[in-house]
Amino acid sequence: MNNKPKLRIGLIGTGFMGKTHVFGFASAPKVFDLPYEIELHTVADISEEAARKAAHDFGFAHATTDWRDLVNSPEIDVIDITAPNALHKEMALAAIAAGKHVYCEKPLAPLASDAEDMAIAAEAAGVKTQVGFNYLCNPMLKLAKTMIAEGELGEIRGYRGLHCEDYMADASSPFSFRHDPAGGGALADIGSHALATAEYLLGPITEVLGDCITMIPTRPDAQGGTRAVQVDDVGRAFVRFANGAQGSIEGNWIATGRKMQHDFEVYGTKGALSFSQERFNELHFYSTEDAVGRRGFRRIEAGPDHDPYVRFCVAPGHQLGFNDLKAIEVAGYLEAIAGLRAEPFGFRDGLRIQRLVETIQASSKDRCWKSVPS
């Protein structure tokens, strides 16, 4: 009864993000009129038990402990990588070499040079890619982008962007791969979201002045000792945008009490926007065109007027959840695979974020402004 072509997914990794991807694959076809029927073909995990359990729980037909099985299978169209960051490059390059489309969780790779290799390979092979910056899929961010693009705020002058959480605030939480230089630190891990949102809304950042700080110098290791932390707990930058605006960015994983402070404010000549991911179904809008004595930040609640909210619910105010953002991401990616639109956020975009992160880190180290390579 369903005559759509199948798109067969091979998922690598079954953790937090793997599960989130599966939620996206499950709900996207119900919410959107996708160009493909999604088939959950095989899931890979290093542990056989985890792979089997994931196959069972998530509805994959097959399980494997060797991710290369996925890459080599002629029955799989998309390789979905939610494995640790350090493995992204090898997996993605292998998948690209096998002609697969690649969906990769963020960050694309620990180093921009690796990310660049991945982007170039994908482009050369003509496969479609997606990096999981799902906060960008929020209808309220699309609304913000539209309002900015259509001049509702006038000329943009200023920006302030944050992504602060507290999951590393406890100094006794043990050293992990995230504290390894390859893990990148707070700026790379979550400041990257703030950077992605900033460029999504205002376009390219051209110059940065960074300040990356390690506040918790050592953390317990698994052997009962301590290990020196080399990555930043807080990473900030002053920035300049190509459109003439200026602003600041902060990534911070020791912000006690903050669970999802992915916030931004945009100031233009005619208006302003204020947003917090803590209440991500709202966008606050100030317009100088409102009548005198009647001006103020207006709390716009997400509703059917804000694409693609209406696909989830025909009535306003009902609210999307985090996993719904993943469904939007999946839908956009499938449309890109079908050639119906450009990649929403492909490897080239993921590379861009790594470039920004590395430029800020270099600026912090050298204690001076740096131009961002284009």
Q: Which of residues 242-271 bind a copy of itself (CB under 8 A)?
A: 246, 248, 250, 252, 254-260, 265, 267-271
Phi, psi of 246, deg, nearest 5 = -130, 165
Per-residue binding string, a copy of itself, 332-351, x by CB under 8 A, is --------------------
- Residue 150: exposure state from Cβ atoms within 10 A (0-12, 13-18, ≥19): exposed
Min dist CB 335 to a copy of itself, Å, is: 16
Is 187 a binding residue for a copy of itself by CB under 8 A? The answer is no
Is 175 a binding residue for a copy of itself by CB under 8 A? The answer is no
Peptide bond connecting 308 to the previous residue in cis, omega within 30 degrees of 0:
yes
Query: Under rule CB under 8 A, which residues in 284-313 are in contact with a copy of itself?
Result: 284-286, 288, 290, 292-301, 303, 305-306, 312-313
Is 160 a binding residue for a copy of itself by CB under 8 A? The answer is yes
Please tell me the distance from the alpha carbon of residue 368 to that of residue 324, in angstroms, as a whole number. Answer: 41
Q: Tokens 């990794």 map to which residue?
A: 13
Q: Which is nearer to a copy of itself, 111 or 169 (CB)?
A: 169
Which range of residues in 64-72, 81-89, 104-112, 154-162 is near a copy of itself by CB under 8 A?
154-162
Phi, psi of 177, deg, nearest 5 = -60, -25
Per-residue binding string, a copy of itself, 71-110, x by CB under 8 A, is ----------------------------------------
Q: Tokens 């932390």 map to which residue?
A: 229
Q: Give, as one character, the DSSP assignment of residue 86.
A: G
143 CB contacts (<8 Å, ≥6 apart)?
Answer: 283, 300, 306
Question: How crowded is residue 123: how many other Cβ atoms within 10 Å of its Cβ?
Answer: 14
Q: Which is nearer to a copy of itself, 222 or 292 (CB)?
A: 292
Which range of residues in 19-27, 196-204, 219-227, 343-351 is near a copy of itself by CB under 8 A?
19-27
Peptide bond connecting 107 to the previous residue in cis, omega within 30 degrees of 0:
yes
Is 149 a binding residue for a copy of itself by CB under 8 A? The answer is no
Confirm if 243 and 148 have CB atoms less than 8 A apart: no
